[in-house]
Structure 1
Amino acid sequence: MATTDAPITNGINYPDWEDRYYHVDQVLDNPGPRTDPDSFMAGDGVKNFLRNQCKILVIGAGGLGCEILANLALSGFKDIHVIDMDTIDISNLNRQFLFRSKDVGQPKATVAAEYIMKRVPGVKVTPYYGKIQDKDDDYYMQFNLVICGLDSVEARRWINATLVNLVDPENPESLKPLIDGGTEGFKGQARVILPTITSCYECSLDMLNKPTTFPICTIANTPRLPEHCIEWASVLEWPKVKGDMKLDTDDPEHIQWLYSVALERAQEFKIEGVTWSLTQGVVKNIIPAIASTNAIIAASCCNEAFKIATSSAAYLNNYFMLIGTESVYSHTFEHEKRNDCPVCGGESLEVSISESWTVERLIEMLVEKQDIQIKKPSLSTPTKQIYFQAPPQLEVATRPNLEKKVSELVPDGGDVTVTATTLPFSLSLRITYT
């Protein structure tokens, strides 16, 4: 058996056996028609970098993440890190193939890492059970690539802004390519983001569907759908009955309480369709996941990671879409940078409003604006606090400003800084009046 240097996994040195990477080496040993001769160094150099030097981070160990981890390990990446804040639920087992019934309740990242290392000897997978926000800039600087297999827009915005802010023009190593994958039923997308160079995640925020919301008057007085009953239970009845207790959508007892209350209300209004799984889906905004879609998108993400890590072919520029609702259709296109992008644009976002607008009206516009998507924004200028959502004392102190005109507080061409707990950066607005 031929051996080469291999990482130590769980205290055991696993050698590479002869022809382990025979098919991968066909790509790495020989330049191809789309290979850039200035960047691709065929042979041992690129293979050594891929297998012994390249460090890659996978964010998310769910439906996409499981596929991504397996693909990377089998492609030759040997130093993989994975972050996930969730534990395994029994509902995950139909599509997240690294998990088994005995794993229910365990951290996804930990179980996924152990499974990959067991099945693919020589690969080291380092798990972290927690939030991406727990880690600082130095942590992200150690990686050559980052792949996202997330189901959260907020988390994507956070890592996107973090990697953009890491870029130092004087240090090429500070640019960390971000590969983002996402699925929704039979549809999916994969994209390559080179922070500060290509369009970033924030540039394309207006392509997302707005979250489904129901008018309070409907859910309170005239519910017609099972979702109305569930929203009523979570938005109105929970705080009324539970007081200051925070609703934990990952707690089965909390979901059970909502289900029981919603079912009772549905029966009162003769509405059918309230189930435990629908209750969980509504309050957690769960999007249907299909294993085949996850597999295709994960393969696309890993293909791009392989090309970027090895320079063996031109990487995606910069957006791949999969549409499988009626047939299998795919489309690639370049999403251009937004000059006014609040993350990678480098300039204040120009906002033109009427002189009669109140602060409350400006906040409503920010919440509704599709290319910003911000919840509960707080506003300030370099010299004054306009309105703050928290802490409670500051909210009370600045509440009278809601009824004031913006023009009374901000001069024409003046800057307003917008912050929010869900916004991973400070948004700078330049206000002009019509």
Structure 2
Amino acid sequence: MATQMQTDTPTSFQDSISSNIDWSNRWTHINKVLNRRGPFCDESFAPGQGKNSLDTCKILVIGAGGLGCEILKNLALSGFKNIHVIDMDTIDVSNLNRQFLFRPSDVGRPKAIVAAEFVMKRVAGVTVTPYHGKIQDKDADYYSQFQIVICGLDSVEARRWMNATIVEISRENEEVIPLIDGGTEGFKGQARVIIPTLTSCYECSLDMLNKPTTFPICTIANTPRLPEHCIEWAYVLEWPKAFPEQKLDTDEPQHIQWVYETANTRAKQFNITGVTYTLTQGVVKNIIPAIASTNAIVAAACCNEAFKLATTTAPYLNNYMMYTGNEGIYTYTFEHQKKPECPVCSDENNPVSVEVKKNMTLEEFIDWLKEKPDAQLKKPSLSTASKKLYLQAPPFLEKSTRPNLEKKLRDLVEEGEEIVITDTTLPFSLRLLVNYL
């Protein structure tokens, strides 16, 4: 590719490199695909029109981290001219080994802004519009302006929110916005294409996710043995006591620092070593080490799908690609089926029926919900049309509904009655119809 990636060399040397690039031939490799019909082109494909599609396609990238940097670079070099990017993080020294759009002098600056500046400087003619903030800061009107959205996120909660938002926009506006989701986990990764209301959505595939690592409350409260136990104790048990009116923000350095210091104090009491700031971040945010090569492979797959969707030069993925590089290299594609009872993309939007044991207490029912892989709940609050069963917040409501935890569920909820569940991980309310065994 006719481009040079930035180094910490003098600007004059970089300028001399740029001046020697034949910019007129930059898109030759892409034009070969766009200017002639291939055997897999869509019926609507018109030779020579694809370049215009890339020029006018407004595409949004969610995340400017390890995956996002690769995606932004690929989109710019593939001919996309109007790119937007959202990221709420700032650059840390630990990012520099794989997030190649950043340099040591950028540490502390917003990722979205630095990434946008870098790409526009190195690829002539492309416009990258950054936003430093949360995806929840933007409303439906903002997301409706894009033709394609690519997610390069490291959070299940953020993916669920984005998925629900795009599906709802597509349903209300009757104009489908394809959502391309990429994710990596060490040497494993996945890329998928979600066509809202037509294919399975992210919520449909929650049961494919690994269950997050958790520790028994009794262990972290009474007999900690590992540094992870001390960290869980600090943010699960101590934070709510110290800051009852404030939710822990896992992206706020001051909050993580408080958890680290509190966990370290407890670790010393039990002669436990190994509590570090980095480990604290990993436990609180469930971070799995990133591999640069995996990011590159998955980002390439995502951008390949965006290119096909924008230009109709080839059929897009239907609809899931998985990659594993643990032992050798293995990829597999399959069509993930749409769930009829999915609370996000189901046409019926009916409550889900569940069967529970008659003698189950409310607390046991909540624990059972947390174990369900297709729910991925952390701190669910439950209510019916007539009563509040158990509310996690605010503290005075948690205290007033706490006695219900020891009661039998059948004494609180009638057969066939609907339970409404809210959770910090849910961008919507989950509705269940209870049937007793």
**How would you bin the TM-score normalised by the shorter chain?**
0.7 to 0.9
- 1:375 is matched with 378
- 2:333 is the counterpart of 1:332: yes
- 2:150 is matched with 147
Q: Which amino acid aligns with 1:203?
A: C
1:195 aligns to what SS in structure 2? coil
- Give me the whole-angstrom Cα distance separating, in 2, the residues matched to 1:252 and 1:28: 47
- 1:122 is matched with 125
Larger deviation: 349-358 or 61-70?
Answer: 349-358
Structure 1 residues 114 and 427: CA distance shift in structure 2, 3 A: same
Deviation at 1:420, TM superposition (A): 2.0
- 2:201 is matched with 200
2:118 aligns to what SS in structure 1? helix
- 2:24 is matched with 18
- Give me the whole-angstrom Cα distance separating, in 2, the residues matched to 1:25 and 1:185: 35
- Give me the whole-angstrom Cα distance separating, in 1, the residues matched to 2:124 and 2:398: 55
Q: Where does the alignment leave 5 or more consecutive residues of structure 1 unmatched?
A: 1-15
Deviation at 1:17, TM superposition (A): 4.7
Structure 1 residues 392 and 412: CA distance shift in structure 2, 3 A: same
Asked if structure 1 preserves the Cα contact closer than 8 Å seen for 2:245 and 2:394, the reply is no
Which residue among 131, 136, 143 is the counterpart of 1:133?
A: 136
Deviation at 1:22, TM superposition (A): 0.8
- 2:34 is the counterpart of 1:46: no
Provide the TM-score with structure 2 as the length reference. 0.87
- Give me the whole-angstrom Cα distance separating, in 1, the residues matched to 2:260 and 2:359: 45
- 2:17 is matched with none
Deviation at 1:372, TM superposition (A): 0.4
- Give me the whole-angstrom Cα distance separating, in 2, the residues matched to 1:256 and 1:408: 44
2:294 aligns to what SS in structure 1? helix
Q: Where does the alignment leave 5 or more consecutive residues of structure 2 unmatched?
A: 1-21
- 1:31 is matched with 37
- Give me the whole-angstrom Cα distance separating, in 2, the residues matched to 1:359 and 1:307: 49
1:33-432 map, 5 Å: 33-36=39-42, 38-43=43-48, 45-51=49-55, 53-168=56-171, 172=174, 174-236=175-237, 247=248, 249-250=250-251, 252=253, 255=256, 258-259=259-260, 262-263=263-264, 266=267, 269=270, 271-345=272-346, 346-432=349-435
- Give me the whole-angstrom Cα distance separating, in 2, the residues matched to 1:86 and 1:196: 31
Structure 1 residues 218 and 414: CA distance shift in structure 2, 3 A: closer
- 1:7 is matched with none
Larger deviation: 157-166 or 270-279?
Answer: 270-279
Structure 1 residues 221 and 98: CA distance shift in structure 2, 3 A: same
- 2:19 is matched with none
Deviation at 1:91, TM superposition (A): 0.8
- Give me the whole-angstrom Cα distance separating, in 2, the residues matched to 1:321 and 1:400: 45
- Give me the whole-angstrom Cα distance separating, in 2, the residues matched to 1:392 and 1:189: 40
- Give me the whole-angstrom Cα distance separating, in 2, the residues matched to 1:271 and 1:365: 32
Tell me the alpha carbon deviations over residues 64-96 of structure 1, each in whole angstroms, 9 at most, x when there is no partner. 001100100111111111111111111111111
Q: Which amino acid aligns with 1:49?
A: S
1:321 aligns to what SS in structure 2? strand
Tell me the alpha carbon deviations over residues 307-343 of structure 1, each in whole angstroms, 9 at most, x when there is no partner. 0111110111111111111111111111111122221
- Give me the whole-angstrom Cα distance separating, in 2, the residues matched to 1:362 and 1:246: 24
Deviation at 1:189, TM superposition (A): 0.7
- Give me the whole-angstrom Cα distance separating, in 2, the residues matched to 1:257 and 1:395: 24
Larger deviation: 68-77 or 262-271?
Answer: 262-271
- 1:6 is matched with none
Deviation at 1:121, TM superposition (A): 1.6
- Give me the whole-angstrom Cα distance separating, in 1, the residues matched to 2:203 and 2:112: 27
Structure 1 residues 387 and 272: CA distance shift in structure 2, 3 A: closer
2:108 aligns to what SS in structure 1? coil
Tell me the alpha carbon deviations over residues 270-301 of structure 1, each in whole angstroms, 9 at most, x when there is no partner. 55544443233223322101111111110000
Provide the TM-score with structure 1 as the length reference. 0.88
1:351 aligns to what SS in structure 2? strand
Identity rate, percent: 68
Q: Which amino acid aligns with 2:188?
A: K
Q: Which amino acid aligns with 1:355?
A: K
- Give me the whole-angstrom Cα distance separating, in 1, the residues matched to 2:163 and 2:291: 26
Q: Which amino acid aligns with 2:51?
A: K
Q: CA RMSD in A?
A: 2.4
Number of residue pairs aligned between Structure 1 and Structure 2: 414
- Give me the whole-angstrom Cα distance separating, in 2, the residues matched to 1:392 and 1:258: 20
Q: Which amino acid aligns with 1:161?
A: A
Structure 1 residues 55 and 242: CA distance shift in structure 2, 3 A: closer
2:317 aligns to what SS in structure 1? coil
- Give me the whole-angstrom Cα distance separating, in 1, the residues matched to 2:27 and 2:241: 61
Deviation at 1:262, TM superposition (A): 4.5
Deviation at 1:20, TM superposition (A): 2.5
Structure 1 residues 276 and 378: CA distance shift in structure 2, 3 A: closer
Structure 1 residues 261 and 355: CA distance shift in structure 2, 3 A: closer
- Give me the whole-angstrom Cα distance separating, in 2, the residues matched to 1:383 and 1:259: 42
Deviation at 1:392, TM superposition (A): 3.2
